[in-house]
Amino acid sequence: SLPMLLLTNIIGFTSIYSKSWSEEKRGKEFYILLLILIAGVMGTFIARDLFIFFLFYEVVVIPIYIMVLIWGSASKTKAVTKEYAGMKLTIYLLVGSAFLLAGMIWMYVTAADITGVRTFDIASLAAVPYPEQFQIIVFGMMAFGFTCLLSMFPFHSWSPDGYAGAPTAVSMIHAGVLKKIGGYGLIRVGLFALPLGAKYWAPVIAVLAVGNVVYAALICLAQKDLKYVVGYSSVSHMGYVLIGVASLNLIGLNGAVANMFAHGVMSALFFSMIGYIYGSSHTRFIPDLGGLAHQMPRAASAFVVAAMASAGLPGLVSFVPEFTVFVGAFKVYPVLSVIAITGVVLGAVYVLRMVANVLFGPRKEEWDHLEDAKGVEMIPIVVLISFIVLFGIFPSWLMDMVNSGVQPIAAKLVEAMKIGGNL
């Protein structure tokens, strides 16, 4: 919970100062809903009770739909209205939560039958010796719910549309921390309470995760809207998280959780800068932009840092987590790991091409009226870049924090594998 809480506070704070022109209308209502959204996300990471976890998760869904509907924007490259984006996002999240609720209730009832104690406490539920067949079925249900939220291939299409339709602050929180609830729940509830179910479904998750990495990276190459590039990039990066989870070992799980943190900070910086560019130029269409580094050098520098972190540049926050994921996964899925590594190469291609087309090239006089980031607009840039660089240079600070929480779950998995047979 600790790295996810830190991430929520970082992105929640910076999202308040990352606004585009759309939030200027009905500002009071916007920030009320934004704070409810942040509180809901924090509640899911703090909750030690499964019912409270689910309650906070549902609290998150409602403000997102309202904010996309009122303050969202349509895409120039696709026939996607903000109403469609908000509805699609909400339907996917609610369908996933229906499977979660069914799995939770089944766990609660079965635990009461086995132990005679009725509780939703996660630690107590994890101590119940559920039958293997029960674990396989319920883990499948809960994994579907959590991986829908994590935008696992092929249940990912809501994610880029949702980002494109959402206002800047919501895109930051959605990509930065809301998706991470899926990965957090999969590890904290799924792996911890239902380890034999995790063992059964892990190869399926690993195969679909490679689909995330490679398919979404290829789709990125065809996008012309800045938010769609970063949206599909986010789907691709979640593939690394899922591969780490599916490895079911300490190294892979450490990499998965650290990757969630790294991607959260990096994607928040990306969406903050896209929101700033969109708020100034009123376009996210890449062919319309170009040479913006001439007019906005500070914003362009932040955009480049986010792009380099996305590409996994050594010395920035995402390098060590991605490397750790591949070390953990290679022990279990060597072929899938090699295929997934191609996603890193494709990732470098699409982010560098985006940077070149948006920031560099000849100066365009039509953008000479744009102003660079200054004053409070620098707060998200300074805070997010500080964490990207700090945890890139000192990765042990992040990895030690992650390891302390992941170790008991990995130990539970090892113990369960001894009882249920080797991997």
The encoded tokens of residue 266 equal 């990096």
| Residues 252/245, Cβ–Cβ less than 8 Å | yes
Mean pLDDT of 50-73: 86
What integer pLDDT is reported at residue 423 of this predicted model?
Answer: 38
What integer pLDDT is reported at residue 406 of this predicted model?
Answer: 87
What integer pLDDT is reported at residue 75 of this predicted model?
Answer: 65
How far apart CA 85 and CA 164 sit, in angstroms, is 8
What integer pLDDT is reported at residue 419 of this predicted model?
Answer: 52
Res 314 pLDDT > 80? yes
| Residues 187/253, Cβ–Cβ less than 8 Å | yes
In sign, the C-alpha dihedral spanning 23, 28, 33, 35 is: positive
Phi first, then psi, for residue 285 (nearest 5°) are: -75, 115
What confidence tens digit (pLDDT) does each residue in 140-167 have? 999 998 988 888 888 888 888 887 777 7
In the 8-state DSSP scheme, what is residue 178? Answer: I
Mean pLDDT of 188-197: 89
How far apart CA 42 and CA 47 sit, in angstroms, is 9
How far apart CA 195 and CA 370 sit, in angstroms, is 54
Mean pLDDT of 212-223: 89
The mean pLDDT of the chain is 86
Cα→Cα distances 136→153, 195, 201, 339, Å? 20, 9, 7, 27
Q: Work out the angle between the directed axes of helices 378-393 and 395-420 (0-180°, nearest 10).
A: 60
> Looking at the 3D structure of the chain, how many domains does it have?
1
**Which residues contact residue 319 at a Cβ distance below 8 angstroms, ignoring those fewer than 6 apart?**
312, 313, 392, 395
Res 193 pLDDT > 70? yes
How far apart CA 126 and CA 141 sit, in angstroms, is 17
What integer pLDDT is reported at residue 373 of this predicted model?
Answer: 80
Report percent pLDDT > 70 for the chain. Answer: 96
Report percent pLDDT > 90 for the chain. Answer: 28
Burial bucket for residue 362 (CB in 10 Å: 0-12, 13-18, 19+): exposed
What confidence tens digit (pLDDT) does each residue in 166-187 have? 777 888 888 878 888 888 999 9
How far apart CA 172 and CA 118 sit, in angstroms, is 38
In the 8-state DSSP scheme, what is residue 360? Answer: S
**Which residues contact residue 97 at a Cβ distance below 8 angstroms, ignoring those fewer than 6 apart?**
54, 57, 58, 61, 145
Of 10-19, 188-197, 330-339, 352-361, the one with minimum mean pLDDT is 10-19
Res 295 pLDDT > 90? no
**Which residues contact residue 411 at a Cβ distance below 8 angstroms, ignoring those fewer than 6 apart?**
none
What confidence tens digit (pLDDT) does each residue in 351-387 have? 999 999 888 878 888 888 888 888 888 889 999 999 9
The closest alpha carbon to 227, from 288, 177, 162, belongs to 162
What confidence tens digit (pLDDT) does each residue in 73-92 have? 766 666 677 778 788 888 88
Could you tell me the residue range of the domain that residue 189 belongs to? 2-420
What integer pLDDT is reported at residue 121 of this predicted model?
Answer: 87
The closest alpha carbon to 252, from 336, 322, 338, belongs to 322
Mean pLDDT of 51-71: 87
The closest alpha carbon to 188, from 328, 398, 1, belongs to 1
What integer pLDDT is reported at residue 414 of this predicted model?
Answer: 80
